[in-house]
Amino acid sequence: MCGRFSADVSAEVLLQTFNLSGLPVINPRYNVAPTQQVAVVREGADGGNRLDLLHWGLIPAWAKERTIAYKMINARSETLLEKPSFRQAYKYRRCVVPASGFYEWRHEGKAKLPHYIRIRDGLPMLFAGLWESWKSPEGEVVESFTILTTAANKLLESIHERMPVILHPAECGRWLDRSVTNTSGLATLFQPYPADLLEMWQVSPLVNTVKHHSYELIAPVAI
């Protein structure tokens, strides 16, 4: 799964990667957690890409309470068409979640040791996601998203069986295109990201606490 990540992608890179209409105003974040507002890219009604803040943890349109979001931070890419929570969003409401890396935990006895994973050449990680719009009984409209997962690659499988679906920049246009409602061809994007293009190291357990959010969280620790 993907339960924490960092988002330190420059505004210039986002502008160039997604051909945004203007330079976004963003701040680096090193401990992005579920239920927080997170910057995601999606295609607008005019066909152009836009960067919006959405709630991490998808709330289906039919949900009675927003607390369901805690169970919806990730969605298995293999079963999207089988799940009522994700089926319509997969067809009509796809998004990309820009990140600079993500965290995963290795279990050693009772200890959980956090590790940081990023792309070797410093390119942004582009997570495939789905978004939804939900209206509460009180009339509040909440836009939310989930991050898709796939089988872990050779690098990650030693600590977890799943990893986020990471898109290559050239694949984002196809994923975001709202005119593509026949999803049969999109499943080819759900392959594990090549292990040789990623790197991983152990980091401080401070990342376990959401209140910690400094750059030091992604620094390697002595083993």
Q: In the predicted model, what is the mean pLDDT of the chain?
A: 94
**What pTM, to 2 d.p., does this model score?**
0.96
pLDDT for position 13:
94
Q: Residue 190 and residue 186: Cα distance in Å, rounded? A: 8
Instruction: Write down the catalytic residue from 43, 95, 104, 172.
Output: 104
154-183 burial, b at 16+ Cβ within 10 Å, e below that, comes to ebbeebbebbbbbbeeebbeebbeeeeeee
172 tagged catalytic: no
Instruction: Over range 8-33, report the average pLDDT.
Output: 93
pLDDT digits (tens, 9 = 90+) for 182-208: 998 999 999 999 999 999 999 999 999
Q: Residue 142 and residue 213: Cα distance in Å, rounded? A: 25
Phi first, then psi: what are they for 59, rounded to 5°? -115, 105
2 tagged catalytic: yes
Instruction: Over range 101-114, report the average pLDDT.
Output: 93
CATH superfamily of 5-101+124-152+164-194: SOS response associated peptidase-like (3.90.1680.10)
Question: Percentage of the chain with pLDDT > 90?
Answer: 85
pLDDT for position 222:
80
Interacting residues of 167 by C-beta distance below 8 A, sequence separation 6+: 96, 126, 127, 128, 175, 189
Q: Residue 37 and residue 40: Cα distance in Å, rounded? A: 9
Asked whether residue 155 carries a pLDDT value surpassing 90, the answer given is: yes
- pLDDT category at 137 given cuts 50, 70, 90 is confident
Phi first, then psi: what are they for 175, rounded to 5°? -65, -40
* Domain residue spans of the chain: 5-101+124-152+164-194
Side chain identity at 206, as an amino acid letter? Answer: L
The candidate with the shortest Cα–Cα distance to 14, out of 53, 55, 54, 50, is 50
pLDDT for position 170:
95
Instruction: Over range 115-131, report the average pLDDT.
Output: 96
Instruction: Write down the catalytic residue from 2, 43, 132, 143.
Output: 2
